[in-house]
Amino acid sequence: MSKHSNTNAANWCGTTILAVHKNGKTVIAGDGQVSIGSTVIKGNAQKVRKLGTSGQVITGFAGATADAMALFERLETKLEQYPTQLARACVELAKDWRTDRYMRRLEAMLIVANSETVLILTGVGDVLEPEHGVAAIGSGGNFAQAAARALFDYEDDAEVIARKAMEIAAEICVYTNSNFTIETLKRDT
């Protein structure tokens, strides 16, 4: 990926990560393509994973892989400190990300979710909760988000929405493939 300032994080290319929260189910889906410029380097990367000891948090990343791995480690530490407070753990990570000299250079964005909440984290200190239960990042994020929003009122299953929306994004965005990793959490009833 090309060099960008973390203030330009929304413009990073190379992936699509989509989160859908509906009817007590939260899904994060990500494609597997890794590109450098116009060259596909790998097609089966896993950019979505479960975090925490109980696996009750899922996250996906767009941006530099090593930077995202560093953020995952920091997020896991925050989740250990605040195990039942996802928003607080994310806010604490965002504060560190903005103020720590090393972390300010990290070039990635994250979508973080549990069975109740979906959040987008950026290196400029944003911790954003989507308004309509759908969030997306990466170069194909706008395509996936638009497709998911269009499907949201017509499909009851969050995973079906995410899968169909990712397929649409993969057909449109040259930096997105159809080799998806999908993680799902269900709210305890």
Look-up of token digits 């079906």: 160
Q: Retrieve residue 147's tokens.
A: 């497709």
pTM given for the model: 0.90
Rounded CA separation 189/37 (Å): 46
Q: Retrieve residue 69's tokens.
A: 């791995």
pLDDT at position 89: 95
* Backbone phi and psi for residue 150, each to the nearest 5 degrees, phi listed first: -65, -35
CA atoms within 13 A on the CB side of 170: 18
Helix then strand then coil, in percent of the chain rounded to 5, is 35, 30, 35
pLDDT at position 13: 55
pLDDT per residue of the chain (189 residues) written in tens, 0 to 9: 334 444 444 444 578 999 999 999 999 999 999 888 888 889 999 999 999 777 899 999 998 888 888 889 999 999 999 988 999 999 999 998 888 777 777 888 999 999 999 999 988 889 999 989 999 999 999 999 999 999 999 999 999 999 999 999 999 999 999 999 999 999 875
Helix (H, G, I), strand (E, B) or coil at 18: strand
Rounded CA separation 62/64 (Å): 7
Order across the sheet with 16-22: list the strands.
134-138, 16-22, 25-30, 181-186
Query: Is 176 noted as a catalytic residue in this protein?
Result: no
Neighbours of 44 (CB within 10 A): 11
- Given a contact cutoff of 8 angstroms between Cβ atoms, the answer to whether 6 and 123 are in contact is yes
End-to-end CA distance of the chain: 42
Which helix (H) or strand (E) segment is 162 a member of? helix 158-172
pLDDT at position 141: 96
Domain boundaries, the chain: 13-183
Active-site residue among 7, 15, 59, 122?
A: 15
pLDDT at position 189: 57
Q: Retrieve residue 82's tokens.
A: 């605040």
Q: Give the residue among 14, 15, 21, 17 at the shortest CA–CA distance from 29.
A: 17
* Continuous H helices in 100-157: 141-152
pLDDT at position 171: 97
CATH number of 13-183: 3.60.20.10
